Amino acid sequence: MTRGEIPASVRKEAERLRRDIEEHDRRYYVLDDPAVTDAEYDRLLRRLESLEEAHPALQSPDSPTRRVGGQARSTFSPVPHSRPMLSLENVLTEEEFGEWWDRVHKTLPDAEAAVEPKMDGTSLSLVYEGGALVRAATRGDGNVGEDVTANARTIRSIPLRLKLPPRFPADRFECRGEVYMHRRDFEELNRKALAKGSRTFANPRNAAAGSLRQKDASVTAGRPLRFTVHSAGELPKSLGIRTHEGFIRLCRDLGLPIAHFPLTVCARKEEAVAAWKKWREERPGLPYEIDGIVVKVNSLSGQNALGRTSKSPRWAVAFKFDARQAETVIRSVEFSVGRTGAVTPVAKVDPVSCGGVTIASVSLHNFDEVRRLGVGISDTVLIERAGDVIPKVVRVTRRGENPGEISPPAECPSCGGEVFRGALEKEPEVAYRCGNPFCPAQLERRLLHFAGRSGLDIEGLGEAAAAELARKGRVGDFADLYALKKEDLLDLELFADKKAENLLEEIRRSRTRPLSKLLVAFGIRHVGDRAARALADAYGSLDRLMEAGRDELLKIPELGPVIAESVMKFFSNPSNRAVIERLRKAGLNFTEEKRRAAPSPISGLRVAFTGELEWLPRSQLQELVRRLGGDPTDSVSKKTGLLVAGKNPGSKLEKAKKAGVRVVTEEEFRKLIGKGS
């Protein structure tokens, strides 16, 4: 061996390191499932760097050590695109989508369509030659883009070389996709920028676009960018690809990141609409922003047959979601009175469509919030509705002329009782409250809670019925419900013959619900599902629970001093006791059956779920966990025993990994509890 020659063992080690690092990049950025710690990853990269330094002949531009390099530049060179990078026509409603679908099917009656989420980022074209990344370009004006190769190389989900199979039939391969950012990475980036006093980005899309177009690639390298392929550039015939789905599969096999696989392929319009609804529902839980779906004719020959207009292809459409924010004007404010008498200001606004529903009223939460927002009647406000979250006012966008002040009412809008400002027990917030314990509005809310899903689950006792029963004085407390007769209901607006009978039957049926449900139904402050269950399990009967002292209650692990105090207070109140005695006479079940004692692999474990779960709806999974002696939870903390992660897991997964919580797939979970498929 002469000087300068590289020993075979070193060459081999370097090649293995490169492959391992590439695979770790893929696992981290593409699969979101790292196999090694950051420290281990750094160790591999440093080892490769030192080998390349010792043996310069090993260096090559596609080495993972060379992601960042070169000089900062003052401009980006223009790059003509092999075929134009088009934009997409938008449709906003099912009707508009239907028109697009019908138009396509007039020409191609049997066309199937592939559905993908529309990633909210910025587009990028990647060109590979001989498997090596040679050019990355932005969309630019669609015909000519900007050369951002140095920047794209720093994005670790973009492979610097493809996993080419032997005898790959194309030397040049182009794909296009979206550069985007995870929401939590975006927030972290802004947090850091704020701490340094630098400019923050308005949203993940701007952050992605801004970061990709940095003059200095080392700045881009520090930005948490990701990439996912969504379309082809020039596609050599030799590849034999016939469908969009086939193209995406090929990209995946070449090691390119595909955020969503497999794609949904639809033969009927209704399926595409269902997919649109599914993604709309999942949108809030995704780690990144999507603003709709893209529906594409799957067959490439079909795409060719349909062609394009000057701006966009006829074979694809962006089926957008309704914006989650909208502007509207506050016309008036009403006050709603809650279960505990808290008076909440509710803004009545000009109806607007937002996040898929029409919104006509928005809660302002409390008067501190009104002050913080500086909002008044006639102001134009930006409202937001993220997923199934209750709409809220984000900020005032334009003051109205003579905005009317929103201040607490002196009297309860329901009973005319005095409204005072005060906290209940150890509550952090100081609310305005109606002090009248017989206030019909409060009673109405209490009845609704009593009859709600997590309470005694009385179907037919919804908002309208609770309001009528409370306001017309037919029911003054929970026990009165069980004394109701058909005649009491028949002269009320809501109850025709059959409906009255149904409600009475439902009320009768509610008597057998277990103690844990009854405890929730009582609406004892701070006692939700979990505490109620713990109390019912620990005592088995209401009579035993009512005798429990403070110290005894505190022995139950799920209970803290605030809950214990609140429980004691509730049961020592003579009027509550009186209602309870009447409920006993009415025949309500005051006991809880012992839960199955047989040990299961999850007994005593707190179990959380994240992502799309296919086997059962989440509520049923939670019930199953309960039956097996586990404790279903919504959030992840150190105390969580097990996280079941489905497809597209949310931030809970990251949290669980950090906290060292055991994570299993849905399949593994089924096996664990003996229900494997």
CB of 160 to ligand IVH, least distance (A): 22
Give the residue with the Cβ less far from ligand IVH, 279 or 669: 279
Kindly state the smallest distance separating residue 232's Cβ from ligand IVH, in Å. Answer: 9
Per-residue binding string, ligand IVH, 331-370, x by CB under 6 A, is ----------------------------------------
Rounded distance between C-alpha atoms, residue 580 and residue 477, angstroms: 10
Q: Which of the ranges 83-91, 164-172, 539-547, 647-655 carries the binding residues for ligand IVH, by CB under 6 A?
A: 83-91
192 is catalytic: no
Tell me: does residue 123 bind ligand IVH (CB under 6 A): yes
Closest CA to 450 of 438, 458, 441: 458
* Residue from 190, 231, 436, 589 in contact with ligand IVH (CB under 6 A): 231
| 152 near ligand IVH, judged by CB under 6 A | no
Residue ranges of the alpha helices (H) in 573-613? 574-585
Nearer to ligand IVH by Cβ, of 179 and 642: the residue is: 179
> Of 123, 146, 133, 124, which Cα lies nearest the Cα of 74?
146
Number of residues in contact with ligand IVH under rule CB under 6 A: 15
- DSSP code of residue 619: H
Decide: is 119 part of the binding site for ligand IVH (CB under 6 A).
yes
Does the protein bind ligand IVH through residue 510 (CB under 6 A)? no
Tokens representing 193? 């920028």
By CB under 6 A, residue 92 contacts ligand IVH: no
Cβ neighbors of 54 (< 8 A, separation 6 or more) are none
Q: How far is the CB of 51 from ligand IVH (least distance, A)?
A: 39
Binding to ligand IVH by CB under 6 A, coded x per residue (else -) over 99-118, reads: -----------------x-x
Q: Closest CB to ligand IVH among 85 and 521?
A: 85
Cis peptide before 262 (omega within 30 of 0): yes
Task: Give the number of other Cβ atoms within 10 Å of residue 355's Cβ.
Answer: 22
- In angstroms, the Cα distances linking 309 to 82, 414, 650 are 18, 60, 39
The one among 219, 239, 318, 484 contacting ligand IVH by CB under 6 A: 318
C-alpha angle 89/92/96, rounded to 5°?
80
Rule CB under 6 A: say whether 301 interacts with ligand IVH: no
Q: Closest by alpha carbon to 474, among 440, 506, 451?
A: 440
Angstrom CA distances, 246 to 131, 232, 252, 648, 670, stand at: 19, 11, 10, 22, 32
By CB under 6 A, residue 81 contacts ligand IVH = no
Q: Contact at 8 Å (CB) between 278 and 335?
A: no
Query: Residues 50, 59, 77, 87: which binds ligand IVH (CB under 6 A)?
Result: 87
Stretch that binds ligand IVH, among 44-52, 86-94, 555-563, 614-622 (CB under 6 A): 86-94
Q: Kindly state the helix (H) or strand (E) to which residue 10 belongs, with its residue range.
A: helix 8-25
Among 208, 275, 316, 542, binds ligand IVH (CB under 6 A): 316
Nearest to ligand IVH of 65, 123 (CB atom): 123
Alpha helices in 379-483, H assignment, sequence order: 440-451, 463-471, 478-481
Residue 37, helix vs strand vs coil: coil
Please name the helix (run of DSSP H) or strand (run of DSSP E) that holds residue 251, with its range, or none: helix 244-253
Q: Which of residues 239-298 bind ligand IVH (CB under 6 A)?
A: 294
Active-site amino acid positions = 118
**Which residues of the shown chain bind ligand IVH in the complex (CB under 6 A)?**
86-88, 116, 118-119, 123, 139, 178, 230-231, 294, 313, 316, 318
